[in-house]
Amino acid sequence: MARRTRARSTGLDASDLENELRGSSPKKVRWQGNVTATTESEKIETIESTEEICESLDRLPGKVCLTVLCRHGRISCAYYHPTESIIYVLEDTQESRQFDNINMVLDQCQPDVVLTSSQSDDDLISLLQGRMEASAGIFQIRPHKEFVAHRGRERFLSLKFLSELEHIECNLQSDDSDNSAPRNAYEFMKQRSANTIDPTMARWNAAIRMANFASVEKSPLCMASIGALLDFLVRERAAGDLDDAGIEGLDVRNVMAMNLDGFMQINADALYSLQVFENESHASIHSDKTKEGLSLFGILDTTRTTLGRALMRTWLLRPSLSTNVIEARHNAVECLMYPQNLPVVSGIAVHLQGIKDIPRVLRTLKAGKAVASDWQKLMKFTYHSAIIRDALVELSRSELVDIIGRLTEALDIGSYKELGNIINNTIDWEESSFAGRVCVRSHIDEELDQRKRVYHGIDSVLSTVAAQISNAVPSNFTPSLNVVYFPQLGYLVCIPMPQSWPETQIQLPDGWTLQSAEMHDMDEHIGDLHPSIVDREIEIIQGLLEQVLGFEDGVIRACDLCAELDCLISFAETSESFNYSRPRMVKESVLWITQGRHPLQEQVVDTFVENDLHIVGGGPNLDHSDNENEDIDGDSTHPASILICTGANACGKSVYLKQAALIQILAQVSLRWSSFVPAKAATLGIVDKIFTRIQTRESVSRVQSAFMIDLNQVSFALRNCTSRSLVLLDEFGKGTAPADGVGLFCGVLKHLLGRRATCPMVIIATHFHEAFRKQLMDRNKVPITFVHMQVLITEDSDTLEDTPSGTPWDEHSSNLGPVTPNAKITYLYRVAPGLSVSSHAAQCAAFFGLPTRVVNRAEYVSELLAEHEIGTLLDEDLDAKERAELEDAESICRDFLAWDLTGDEAMKQTNVKESLHDVLRQTSDTG
C-alpha cells in the first residue's frame, strides 16, 4: 500500500522524469491545484518513487486501465477491458461542473489504474485522486505530450484488427484446373500478396475502418485518450513480457462505444442528421463567429440565463433512460402549463433574467480578478432569488412537483438577505464605478477612512507646501514651481528648467538635493496614501470574500436549480406555443405515435400533414421453415420491429423518419427532465441508442468515399444496437451499382430480422421496390410493416387517377403500368399502408423543371428496362435496309427455334444441316 501511495504522488515514469529533469531550471508540476518546484535535491527521490510505480502495477494482469481527458468543459474517456480484450471509448461530450459523466464512468468500469494529462482541469485531477485513493487504485498524471489527438490517431491506426480484413475467396475456375503454380505475373503477385501484408494497404484498410469505431474529426479528445491508453499498455506489456512488439503486439480485438447508464447514446452523425444542433456562420466573411440556426435546440431554447442555456444543450446531448424520472419531470412541465399558473410563471421568468453565471463569478472572486460588476451580479442574485422563492409558493398544483419543492428549500431567504446586506453595506458602488476598482464604503474601517480624508484633502496640503517652498527659493532661480503627488513615486517638487542650463547638467539651489527636505518630511508623515488605501481595501474585500464563501455551496446549488427551472419554463412555453402534448412512457420497447409532427419542418411550411407511426422492438423472427404456410401481413394492425416507407421522390419520407427520432428525443430529453412532444398522443418506450444513416458528410480530409461513409454508419449501428435502440436508414445502398445496393439492403434486412427478440426498432425509406419480389424477400412472408407516402396523379384532362402507390403488390397485374410523363404529381404527404410500386421519378423530374424531351426519353428507357427489352435501344440508328435484314434474320431464328428436335425419330428423318441450308438458300433467293 505504501508503494501505491507513493505512485499516486508522482504520475511520471522514470524515462519521462529523466527527460523532464535534464534542464537546469526546476520543473513546475501542477498537483491538486498547487504549483510546486522540483529542485535538484529532489530528483533522485522522485526517480526512485517513479521506479516503484512499475513494481506496484504488478504488470497489470487482469487490471482495467482508464484514461480521462477534460478540457474547457468537454470530456472523453477510454478504458481497456483485459478479459474481453476490448477498448471502450466515450466520444467527446459536454461535462457538468459536478463531473457527472466521469463519476458514471468510474462507477461502471471500476478501473484499477487511471491516467490523465498534466494539463487537465485541477478539479478533475482532485476528483480522480480522491476516487482512486478511496478504492486503493493507482492514479497517474501523464505528460501532456501523450494526450495529443494526431498521435492518438496514429496509435489507433496501428491496431492489427483494423488493418487485417477477413479474406474472402471466390473460386471462379473449374475443379479440374491446376492452380498449384502461377501462370502469369499477375497471379504470382496475387499469391505473394496473400502471404504477406502490404504496409501501405494495411494502413489504408485501417484508415477506412477506423470511422466504424470512433469519430476522428469530431472527437479529438477521444483520439488523445485512446493514444495515451495504447502507449501505457505497450509500456506495461514490454516491461512485463520483455517483448517490444509495439502496438501490433497488443491483444485488442475490438473498439466499442461506451454506454453510460441512465443516458441515451446519440453519436455525432445522428445529432447532425436529425438537426438537433445547427451552427450557422456569421454573415460577414471577416467574422468567425457562429449562431444557432434552425434546430431542435433553437426552437426549445427560450431560456433567460446562461446556466439554463448550457444545461439545455447538455440535456439534448444526454437524454434520460429512467421511466420514473421522466414521468416525474413531465409533472413539472404540466404544472407550469396550467392556465392559472401562467402569470406567476411569467413573473418568475422575468426575475430569472437577473440571475447571471454565479459559479463563474465565484471562481473569479476566488482568483482575485473580480471587478465591481461581479459583486453586483452576486448581490442581484440574492434579490431576484428571494422574489422567485415567494413566487413559487403561489403556483397551483405544485405539491407533487419535485423541482419546486427542492428549489423552495434551497432558496434560503434569510441567508441570502444577509449575504446581500453584507455585500451592499461593504462596497461603494458609485466610487467603484468612478475608480475602476472595488472600493469600500465609509464607516467600515476607521483607519481607511482617515487615509481617505487625508488623500481627498491632499490638494490643499500640496498648495500650502508649494507656497512655503516658493518663498525659500531665490527669485532668479525659477519664476514658478509645483508640488505634486505621484502614487508610484511619492511627493515631488517640479520646477521648469531655464534655457541657460546645459542639457547634461542640472543646477540645484544651495541646500537642495534631488529630493528636498520638505518632500522627505511629507513621505515620513503622510506616506504613500494611494497604495495604502488600495491595500487596505483589498484586505477588507478579502475578508468580505471569506464571508461570502461560507454561502458558496448553497448559492451554487440554488443556481443549478434555477437553471433547471429556467429550462422547464422554456419547455412549457414551447409546448404551449406549438401545441405539444404529454407522452405516455412505458417500459416496453414501443414507438406508438398518433398524428405526429416534425418539430422543425412544421415551422417552415404553411400546412403540415400529421402522420401515425407504430413500431414494436424485438418483433417476430424471420424463419421460413416455421412460416411456410403462414401469411404474415405486413400491413396488419400488429406492428413489427421494422417499418419500411416507400413512395415518390420528394414525398416526405425523410421527414417521416426524422420526426420519429426527434419525438423520442424530446420525450427523454435531459438528465432529470423531459418535455412534451409534437403529437396528438404518443406511447413511447425508453430508447437507449439512436443510430442514423440519413446524411453523408464528405470531406477531402477523409480517406473514404460517400458510399464508404454510409457503410461506416450502418456498420456502427448494427454492431451497437440493442432491442431498445432506434435505427433510421434513409436510401441505404444507393451509392453503388443498383444490383449491389439491393443486395446490401437485403442483407441488412435479413440480419436485423434474424436477430429475433433482439431486433431494434428500425424505420427505413427506400426505392428498392424490386427487393420485395417473391424471389428475394416476399413481403407476405417477412414480419415487416410496409407504408407509403400517398400522391395524386392528375392527367391532362384534369381528372384524378388512382395512384399505384395504394395498390397491393401483384407481379402479374397488368393495371400497374407507368404513368404518362405529362401527368402532374401532387404530394399528399400522408402515410398509408402498403408498398409503393413506383417512385414516379419522371413526374418528379418534370415537376422540378427538367426539359420535356429529357423526361420522355427517361420514361421510355425505364419502360424498356422494366420489360427487359433494353436491346431495343441498339436498333434505333439502323436504316431501312439494315432493319429488313434484321427482320429476316429474326424470322429464320424463329423458324429454327420452332422445330421439334426432341424426338429420336424426328432426328433420324430430318437432316438438320441440309434443312438449314435450304432455308438460307430460299432466303437469299427471295432477297
Is residue 648 situated within a structural domain?
yes
107 with 203, same domain: the answer is: yes
Question: What element of type H or E holds 81?
Answer: strand 74-81
156 with 92, same domain: the answer is: yes
Closest CA to 781 of 749, 744, 759, 758: 749
d(CA 194, CA 202): 12
Per DSSP, the residues of 804-824 read: GGGSPP-TT-SS-PPPPTT-E
Is residue 270 situated within a structural domain?
no
Closest CA to 806 of 657, 652, 634, 647: 647
The answer to whether 672 and 314 are in contact (CB under 8 A) is no
Cell numbers linked to 601? 419542418
Per DSSP, the residues of 731-773 read: STTTTS-HHHHHHHHHHHHHHHHHTGGG--EEEEE---GGGGS
242 with 158, same domain: the answer is: yes
Structurally, how many domains does the chain consist of? 6
562 with 527, same domain: the answer is: no
CATH number of the domain to which 245 belongs:
3.30.420.110
Closest CA to 651 of 808, 803, 807, 810: 803
The answer to whether 101 and 128 are in contact (CB under 8 A) is no
Scanning 110-184, the segments in alpha helix (DSSP H) are 122-134, 149-157, 160-163
What is the predicted pLDDT for the residue at 421? 92
Is residue 595 situated within a structural domain?
yes
Domain coverage including residue 246: 65-165+197-257
What is the predicted pLDDT for the residue at 814? 32
List pLDDT tens digits, range 503-530. 556 666 666 666 666 676 666 666 677 7
Which residues of the chain carry a pLDDT beneath 70?
1-62, 163-198, 214-217, 240-249, 324-325, 328-329, 475-478, 487-489, 498-518, 520-527, 619-638, 670-675, 701-703, 775, 795-822, 900-913, 915-916, 919-927
Is residue 265 situated within a structural domain?
no
CATH number of the domain to which 660 belongs:
3.40.50.300
Closest CA to 576 of 339, 353, 301, 294: 339
> Mapping DSSP to helix (H, G, I), strand (E, B) and coil, where does residue 802 land?
coil
What is the predicted pLDDT for the residue at 161? 74
The answer to whether 112 and 64 are in contact (CB under 8 A) is yes
Closest CA to 42 of 64, 20, 73, 63: 20
345 with 438, same domain: the answer is: yes
453 with 396, same domain: the answer is: no
The answer to whether 621 and 758 are in contact (CB under 8 A) is no
d(CA 108, CA 127): 16
Q: Cα dist. 567→173, 331, 675, 684 in Å?
A: 68, 14, 10, 22
531 with 469, same domain: the answer is: yes
Is residue 35 situated within a structural domain?
no
Q: Residue 356's Cα: distance from chain center in Å?
A: 26
Out of 236, 257, 278, pick the residue that ends a domain.
257
Q: Cα dist. 215→109, 255, 343, 866 in Å?
A: 22, 12, 46, 42
Closest CA to 673 of 526, 820, 571: 571
The answer to whether 63 and 112 are in contact (CB under 8 A) is yes
425 with 458, same domain: the answer is: no
Is residue 190 situated within a structural domain?
no
Is residue 758 situated within a structural domain?
yes
Number of neighbouring beta carbons within 10 Å of residue 531 = 11
Residue bearing cell 439492403: 745
323 with 416, same domain: the answer is: yes
What is the predicted pLDDT for the residue at 49? 41
Residue bearing cell 416507400: 646
d(CA 336, CA 397): 9
686 with 762, same domain: the answer is: yes
Q: Residue 906's Cα: distance from chain center in Å?
A: 78
Q: Cα dist. 198→160, 170, 211, 602 in Å?
A: 13, 21, 21, 53
CATH number of the domain to which 529 belongs:
1.10.1420
What is the predicted pLDDT for the residue at 680? 92
Is residue 56 situated within a structural domain?
no
> Could you give the strand order of the β-sheet that contains 679-684, starting from the edge strand earlier in sequence?
584-585, 679-684, 590-596, 611-616
Closest CA to 755 of 794, 707, 727, 723: 723
What is the predicted pLDDT for the residue at 373? 92
430 with 487, same domain: the answer is: no
End-to-end C-alpha distance for the chain, whole angstroms: 107
- In the chain, the largest separation of any two C-alpha atoms, in whole Å, equals 157
What is the predicted pLDDT for the residue at 504? 56
CATH number of the domain to which 378 belongs:
1.10.1420.10
Phi, psi torsion values for 649, nearest 5 degrees: -65, 140
153 with 125, same domain: the answer is: yes
